[in-house]
Structure 1
């Protein structure tokens, strides 16, 4: 399925790539994939609610006809629309269904205004879709200089996307589509992409860690204050048995990405009542401040070493005041960490991805790190391989934090050498993930991989958490066999001598003119040899 998804996205992107930057055309592609999902889900729901078998209605064409038949019958129309609103929380008029628009596209009768009407219908009638399609500007001159050209452009995109079976996609269709787009077109779409998309296996590792021992919880809350596409916190559902009562809380500064997260949660069947998302600046103003504002887990992959105001007024902010210093203006890493940690319950676990500099930099960062260590807040430090994240090749670290610990020891795991190289990106496998989780759970010494450092050891190291100080991964080189090296050198010299003789003999046998005589003599002098 992923091959089909990727190929169709690539073909659809072909229609847009020459017209706009990849960071713009991915908004069109992802928005249209989402609209197709809503349309196809509605048709499948109609079949199920009618008590029909999907295998009997195994095409969108048949499903659309069934939908139209119900709506044309006045005795069933009202009940069906109400059922759709109860089950999936929306309905779409048949003429605005993605499949219907795709049919028109293939017949050359598609009208851009019909797609626009479909967007307007959803956003004005259903609160959860408000503003969700704002980034799909169907009037943009980048799609074409006039209505006809814009119509042609979107027609080609819709024809490609119609072939994607979004309902049977095994995984996170928006996340997978987004990951493919930013990796395939990294030169433009991938810039700073690590800020709003965490690779799948890293997300899974973090989600597994924060849910350890919580699998049977009836209600479980997760918070991501830099949620990007929302895929990081959505991984929690794979490790909590009762997924119906997971509460998702997230904030995102970028409006486009905020809308992407909303799409992603809706696609994963998250009810509106379990979704509390905000479009705002996490550091500038605390959120959430109303109940609930403490969470069972906190997951974050914030922008690395971002700038922030670091204004003195923040020393009165509950998130930062107990640490005595503020993160420097040029590096907001600890500001994000402290924000997330403030919103963690006393019984919860936090996992955050940050650059390695936070482990050893001095100044204000050193003071904050020391306070966290003195409080016993840092539970584990996991060193990740370089080149895992889109848009940056730097190695990262995942820091695990907990509150109210009786011990102040810190587990160090060096997983930096465990990865598979795929094209231009490194990737973790399930085997690598299991190894990290095993070391995290055992919380013990594993040669050249993990080490449990006492608070006194860390204090002796001036509260420096640089992983090589604690995990020795040095591999001693094998002794050099000097006799073998000598023999190899002798063999090379013999080969060189033989080659020199052959060259001398070859040049000596050449026939040459008077004007080449000096050149030939010079060459013979160079390759002259002694028996």
Structure 2
């Protein structure tokens, strides 16, 4: 049985729990990721002479298991890892963590117990069958850990990981196409753990040739491991300072050039000149200007531009300041704009990254089309760079009119969700950014194609708010409406996108009140504010709209063909295909955002569907019959909640929850059980009410008829009632005690009936699983589980959209419902009442 994503993730995070306390996340990540790597390569390549990784004798995870509880376990683990590293040229990559470090892991028995538990957690994972073609569950698990490590590491240690969501955007806007060949190169000069490179490579049909450099030794080791876990063992990752000592060169004084480049360099690096003289750079990286000594943001951008082929393309994450800061940076920015290198700018939300909370942007570079767009000032230099201001020619007096050139800008700062103390891009945010950028779509308050003419008039300032106003329109109050009543028609007309769908609902909600004087440009709400939503939902136009809104979903169901999932299919290709077809199905839907519908599917994929599909493509539909017995180690609690308990044995359903079996095959039995449950609830309520009413007299003192039946814990139980009944002499108290005994019996019998019926039903459900046919399994999983959930969520989204309309109508009605004259009259009436009450109390005064 294939291990599920969430099961794998919880096990990996449990391993982290064993290491917390002795070190911070930036350190214990080395231990956890090393063990993940060892377990994976052992399961996948042990005994395979043609494997990507050679697992020599004495260097497998089995040898780690054999070292459990050994007093020299730390030293033995180091030797096992070292042997694998030596065999595969991975020295300094997988042997970074010291498993015999007493300062971090404890001394003596503490170390032995901690490492034994740690190895035991990985021992329980079977990773042999978890790579369907083209999918990297282990690589995804690695990213899961990296995200959590970055979260826990804090500001100073989060730089080794670029959030996966941001990596996806860079990879999809950098220009990689479906026909990009495998030998095309992608480069990251500050590659961290390599996630950006991997995301970019995945965009090409057969991957790309990967090149990277990372200054931090431990982080470069993470990148190497990440490449192997993602089946990219041939990726080339160098250690070292990219700026001072670039490793990728063509000869002594020329950088190697690449087809694509992606990067998330350290923000505002104050030490970028360390080991480097920018005024005498042998690689010519500062032709367009020298960045400020205390801020290296443009340094990395210039390095990347120099490292791209003449047809190369790049995407770089930089802080927003690079778009508008002055002095030396303004000069560089102006030169790059004139050269035509900057294809686009994408403004991101603040607080996305782990090393900083400041907002960042993505600058997209396109050298291939730069020459077509470049402005030629005077006589151009030989080669690809023209002579421009600041480089030997005075061109201030050149009156060059720039036409036909532009930079595409996106303000995506508003699209995100809160995720703990960080912000996170949703799947729909990513897809919208990529769609809009790659198709050049201009959307109000979101994206614009800005001409260089306009940018030049703004002194080459690229600050996005100068060109895109993403703020919401101000909600203006109408003074006349406040004074005289009525709702301004302009506010009603502003909801035109709703009235196009619901013209009759508008007529139902708004009109002229015959009891009030008519006023041009104003209407009245004809329905009480509290009844607006109910009126909308009950209207035939809404019902028709709701039905129409489900038609694309029903058409998508046929196209998705989820019942045809088969062994060996790629889960990632599946979700890509079905999500794109769902997006297309709702492309022209009324009121509903196709991206909101897309998000519903992607959320369900992440929560449930992905795990189910991984199981199906590796174990086929017969996995729907599987009930896995849950067994915990001695003294440990179960990590999973059982779905069924049969004869004290606990079981977990792999794909089909028992509730679906019950709903389809045992509805009558469930109805009877529900009726028994109602009786139990009634019996319990009657008992609790009776005990509460008779425990005290009603005045708060404990002298009620059952007060003497309270036990030493101030509770009345069946045992305490029976004990008191033997001693009671008062007739009223005896009657109360007997009634309490009767109610205790009713309650106990009701609970027993429910328990017995539930046990009978559970056994019937348990016996049903092995007899399910493949067609029945498909119906239960696809129709009853997946599609039923998705449809319910889409219906909820339909209602959410109408709720927005109802809220606005209610807001307008309440805002103008009481005009000033009415308020003044109400105040006068209340003042008269107060004066009357004061006069009656003998308090009267005159002004």
Q: Is the CA contact 1:143–1:153 (under 8 Å) kept in the aligned structure 2? A: no
Q: Is the CA contact 1:378–1:401 (under 8 Å) kept in the aligned structure 2? A: yes
Residue matched to 1:298? 261
Shift of residue 199, structure 1, vs aligned partner: 1.1
Residue matched to 2:102? 141
Closer/same/farther in 2, CA of residues 319 and 402 from structure 1, 3 Å limit = farther
Stretches of structure 1 that go unaligned for 5 or more consecutive residues are 47-82, 509-524
Residue matched to 1:458? 455
Residue matched to 2:444? 447
Cα deviation digits, residues 91-132 of structure 1 (max 9, x gap): 232x54224533653x778833332221121122221x1212
Shift of residue 276, structure 1, vs aligned partner: 2.0
Q: Is the CA contact 1:96–1:114 (under 8 Å) kept in the aligned structure 2? A: no
Identify the match of residue 213 of structure 2 among 226, 251, 254: 251
Closer/same/farther in 2, CA of residues 193 and 410 from structure 1, 3 Å limit = farther
Shift of residue 37, structure 1, vs aligned partner: 1.3
Shift of residue 341, structure 1, vs aligned partner: 1.2
Q: Is the CA contact 1:143–1:149 (under 8 Å) kept in the aligned structure 2? A: no
Q: Which moved more, 1:347-356 or 1:95-104?
A: 95-104
Q: Is the CA contact 1:5–1:177 (under 8 Å) kept in the aligned structure 2? A: no
Shift of residue 10, structure 1, vs aligned partner: 3.0
- Structure number with the bigger relative contact order (C-alpha 8 A, sep ≥ 6) is 1
Q: Is the CA contact 2:29–2:149 (under 8 Å) kept in the aligned structure 1? A: yes
Identify the match of residue 182 of structure 1 among 150, 156, 159: 150
Q: How far, CA to CA, are the matches of 2:466 and 2:440 in structure 1?
A: 17
Mapping 1:124-273, distance limit 5 Å: 124-127=86-89, 129-166=90-127, 168=130, 170=137, 171-183=139-151, 185=152, 189-213=153-177, 215-243=179-207, 246-272=208-234
Q: Which moved more, 1:4-13 or 1:448-457?
A: 4-13
Residue matched to 1:389? 353
Alignment TM-score, normalising by the size of structure 1: 0.78
Closer/same/farther in 2, CA of residues 485 and 251 from structure 1, 3 Å limit = same
Q: How far, CA to CA, are the matches of 2:204 and 2:329 in structure 1?
A: 35
Shift of residue 446, structure 1, vs aligned partner: 2.0
SS at match of 1:172: helix
Residue matched to 1:406? 372
Residue matched to 1:277? 237
Q: Is the CA contact 2:45–2:53 (under 8 Å) kept in the aligned structure 1? A: no
Closer/same/farther in 2, CA of residues 313 and 423 from structure 1, 3 Å limit = closer
SS at match of 2:40: helix
Q: How far, CA to CA, are the matches of 2:105 and 2:424 in structure 1?
A: 39
Cα deviation digits, residues 208-247 of structure 1 (max 9, x gap): 122443534242111000000001110123221123xx21
Closer/same/farther in 2, CA of residues 485 and 331 from structure 1, 3 Å limit = farther
Residue matched to 1:115? 77
Residue matched to 1:67? none
Closer/same/farther in 2, CA of residues 29 and 529 from structure 1, 3 Å limit = farther
Residue matched to 1:354? 318
Closer/same/farther in 2, CA of residues 453 and 25 from structure 1, 3 Å limit = same
Q: Is the CA contact 1:225–1:252 (under 8 Å) kept in the aligned structure 2? A: yes
Stretches of structure 2 that go unaligned for 5 or more consecutive residues are 131-135, 374-404, 483-814
1:4 matched to 2:1? The reply is: no
SS at match of 2:19: helix
Identify the match of residue 320 of structure 1 among 285, 288, 304: 285
SS at match of 1:16: coil
SS at match of 1:17: coil
Alignment TM-score, normalising by the size of structure 2: 0.50
Closer/same/farther in 2, CA of residues 194 and 114 from structure 1, 3 Å limit = closer
SS at match of 1:476: coil
SS at match of 1:175: helix
Bigger Rg over Cα? 2
Residue matched to 1:288? 248
Q: How far, CA to CA, are the matches of 2:181 and 2:468 in structure 1?
A: 35
Residue matched to 1:419? 416
SS at match of 2:246: coil
Cα deviation digits, residues 383-439 of structure 1 (max 9, x gap): 011222223222110000111341242111111111233333322233222211222
Closer/same/farther in 2, CA of residues 477 and 166 from structure 1, 3 Å limit = farther
SS at match of 1:297: strand
Closer/same/farther in 2, CA of residues 468 and 100 from structure 1, 3 Å limit = same
Q: How far, CA to CA, are the matches of 2:465 and 2:249 in structure 1?
A: 39
Q: How far, CA to CA, are the matches of 2:53 and 2:91 in structure 1?
A: 13
Q: How far, CA to CA, are the matches of 1:413 and 1:202 in structure 2?
A: 14
Q: How far, CA to CA, are the matches of 1:125 and 1:319 in structure 2?
A: 40
Residue matched to 1:52? none
Mapping 1:491-530, distance limit 5 Å: none
Shift of residue 298, structure 1, vs aligned partner: 0.2
